[in-house]
Each structure stands twice: as structure tokens, then as C-alpha cells.
């Protein structure tokens, strides 16, 4: 299958921020978006810009199957957005709580990058990017900051925080490793948005959070942005 638009894969795109990001990219007319589930309604977006794809980031066979499908249908990938994530596992023992959160937020991201990197390398797109959706809660410098509304006193969550801190380091290390190949990798924190993930609480609507992800995936100088952290909360670029 040949597409004239830049090809984007978004994990966890069946709801929340992933859903909103897929809508915004597809509606721009510049991107063909591979989404985790076909939940975008026909009147919301041009369906010719969407292809549903099944991918479970906790299952290596599912990831491999998804990469194979993309390879057979398109032969390449231009932009990868690692959006799938979880924040808690209610009622689980502490070891299992950490294990399941890291399985999605850390190991899943690494496995998806590993599986789809050959397709990014096969792309002739001039602005190839990997975008990892992280959180300000993963910034070690912010956890103890007294005037930060989401410091560890207000929001303890050491399991979730540590998973996003690990994701930030994965982003930083990959940015160095992929620099010579001109594949940028960027961490983006969309902020606390009103989604099922946050129990409907947050300062932002999902569409506003998605704009930050879209910006990280499509705007600015990719080479300069690689290895940095993008957010609207005033943290600035860098770590």
C-alpha cells in the first residue's frame, strides 16, 4: 500500500490522549495514522488517513505481528509515538504493581522501538522521529520541589514516577545512539489531562494535551530537539 502522507504509528490510540493525537494528526491532512483501534468516528476525521492496527505493548508476539503488518502494507514508518501507558494497578501487591507499570511504561516502549526501528531506518522521510509520552512526575528534580503542585508530597506514586524517569533515560540514551542516523527521539509531557487515566481530573482537556504531543512529533528542528523534554508546564527543554 502506497501512501503519499507521512506515516505515523501511535500506541494506545484507542482512547484519551492517543485518540486525540490521532484525530489531530489525521485531520491535518498531512499524515496517515496507524491507530491501536478503529474508534475514530467517520465524521470526526478523514478515514482515508487512518488505518487501525492491533498492538499490545505487553506482548512481544503482538508487537512483532504489528511490525510485520506495517512492513507488508507500507514498507516503512516515518514517526513513532509511544503513548500507551498505565498509572496504577489497583489492589496489586507492591512487587506486582511495579512490575505491571514498568511492563507497559518502560519495557513496552523499548520493545516497540526495537521492533519498529528497522522500518524507521527504511523511511526516506526527512524528519523521522520517535516520541515518548512521559510526565513531569518522572523528573527527579521536581519530585522534591516544594512549590511544584505535583511533587511527591502531593502525589506520591513512586511506581509511576520511577517508570517515567526510566523512560526519560531511555529517550536520552537512544538520542545519542541514533544521532548519526538522523532519527530524533523526544520525550513529551502533555500535562495532567482530563482522561480515564486521571479519573477525569486535570487542568487540560485531552485536545490540549494532544497538541503538545503533535508539536513534539512534527514541529521544530528534529536534530536539536532529539534527547530533550517538551512540556507546557514551564520546565523547558533538556532534563
CA quadruple 86, 103, 174, 5: dihedral sign = negative
Q: Assess whether 164 carries a catalytic annotation.
A: yes
Q: Which member of 5, 145, 153, 164 is catalytic?
A: 164
Among candidate residues 148, 160, 204, 229, the one labeled active-site is 160
Q: CA 107, CA 86: separation in Å to the nearest integer?
A: 12
Residue with the three cell numbers 505481528 = 65
d(CA 149, CA 142): 10
Q: What phi and psi, each to the nearest 5 degrees, are found at residue 215?
A: -60, -45
Terminal Cα-to-Cα distance of the chain (whole angstroms): 40
Q: Buried b vs exposed e over 134-161: b needs ≥16 C-beta within 10 Å?
A: bbbbbbeebbeeeebebbeeeeebebbb
Q: Is 89 exposed, middle or buried (0-12, 13-18, 19+ CB in 10 A)?
A: middle
DSSP-derived secondary structure letter, 185: E
Query: Which residues, in sequence order, are bridge partners of residue 193?
Result: 204
The answer to whether 196 and 16 have CB atoms below 8 angstroms apart is: yes
Catalytic residues: 160, 164
Amino acid at each position: 500500500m502506497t501512501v503519499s502522507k507521512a506515516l505515523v504509528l501511535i500506541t494506545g490510540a484507542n482512547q484519551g490522549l492517543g485518540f486525540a493525537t490521532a484525530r489531530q494528526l489525521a485531520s491535518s491532512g498531512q499524515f496517515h495514522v496507524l491507530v491501536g483501534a478503529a474508534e475514530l468516528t467517520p465524521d470526526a476525521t478523514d478515514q482515508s488517513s487512518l488505518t487501525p492496527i492491533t498492538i499490545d505493548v505487553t506482548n512481544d508476539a503482538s508487537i512483532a505481528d504489528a511490525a510485520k503488518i506495517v512492513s507488508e502494507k507500507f514498507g516503512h514508518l516515518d514517526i513513532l509515538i509511544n503513548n500507551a501507558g498505565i498509572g496504577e494497578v489497583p489492589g496489586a501487591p507492591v512487587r506486582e504493581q511495579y512490575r505491571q507499570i514498568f511492563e507497559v511504561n518502560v519495557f513496552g516502549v523499548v520493545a516497540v522501538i526495537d521492533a519498529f526501528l528497522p522500518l524507521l531506518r527504511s523511511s526516506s522521510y526527512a524528519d523521522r522521529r520517535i516520541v515518548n509520552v512521559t510526565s513531569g512526575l518522572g523528573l527527579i528534580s521536581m519530585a522534591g520541589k516544594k512549590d511544584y503542585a505535583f511533587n511527591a508530597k502531593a502525589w506520591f506514586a513512586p511506581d509511576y514516577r520511577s517508570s517515567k524517569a526510566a523512560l526519560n533515560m531511555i529517550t536520552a540514551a537512544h538520542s545519542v545512539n541514533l544521532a548519526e542516523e538522523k532519527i530524533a527521539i523526544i520525550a513529551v509531557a502533555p500535562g495532567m489531562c482530563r482522561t480515564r487515566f486521571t479519573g477525569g481530573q486535570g487542568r487540560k482537556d485531552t485536545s490540549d494535551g494532544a497538541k503538545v504531543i503533535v508539536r513534539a512529533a512534527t514541529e521544530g528542528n528534529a536534530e536539536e530537539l532529539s534527547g530533550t523534554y517538551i512540556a507546557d508546564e514551564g520546565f523547558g527543554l533538556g532534563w
